[in-house]
Amino acid sequence: MTIEHCTIEDFNQIIKDIIDFWGSDRLLHLHHPYLVYEFGNTAFVIRDNGLVIAYMFGFFSQTDSVGYVHLIGVRERYQKQGLGKLLYDNFIQVSKSRGIKKIKAITSPTNNKSIEFHQNKMGMTLIGSPNQDGITVVRGYSALSQETVVFEKLIQRT
């Protein structure tokens, strides 16, 4: 499967089919066209006969040597085929080519599927302190007074 840059047409397809990627529209508010317009060099899709089956929206920090994965989604019927890892590996290669030293991503403490993927498939570590449930979180990272699971992984420059 080929990874390509996301077009605005791809983005519109993702928005139209958001429930097929996430099981609900709970993350629709995090999807913005500027992720394609302004960060298109780090917005990727995998298509199957024109159908976007997986996507990743990322960008590079302006204050540190960090590549940040904002969203990664795979249509439910295409999950567990390694597409998420394929997108991450691509993002890591692009990050390395830009001299980026670390990648980061976040999720909620209740998203066990995401935590398992980032730790077990991507080898990312959690930063922060354990919460009352023993999950390592950073308080106030993505919203005031809320707990966020923050993943990071050091990457070596090629």
Q: Collect all residues with Cβ–Cβ distance below 8 Å to 82 and sequence separation of at least 6.
A: none
**How many C-beta atoms lie closer than 10 Å to residue 85's C-beta?**
13
Q: Residue ranges per domain, the chain?
A: 3-154
pLDDT of residue 88: 97
Q: Does domain 3-154 have CATH number 3.40.630.30?
A: yes
Give the span between the Cα atoms of 140 and 126, in whole angstroms: 15
Give the span between the Cα atoms of 65 and 67, in whole angstroms: 7
* Length in residues, the chain: 158
pLDDT of residue 60: 97
pLDDT of residue 143: 83
Q: Collect all residues with Cβ–Cβ distance below 8 Å to 124 and sequence separation of at least 6.
A: 103, 105, 118, 151, 152, 153
As averages over each run of 10 residues, the pLDDT of the chain (158 residues) reads 95 98 95 96 97 98 96 97 97 96 96 95 96 95 91 82
Give the span between the Cα atoms of 73 and 11, in whole angstroms: 12
pLDDT of residue 100: 96
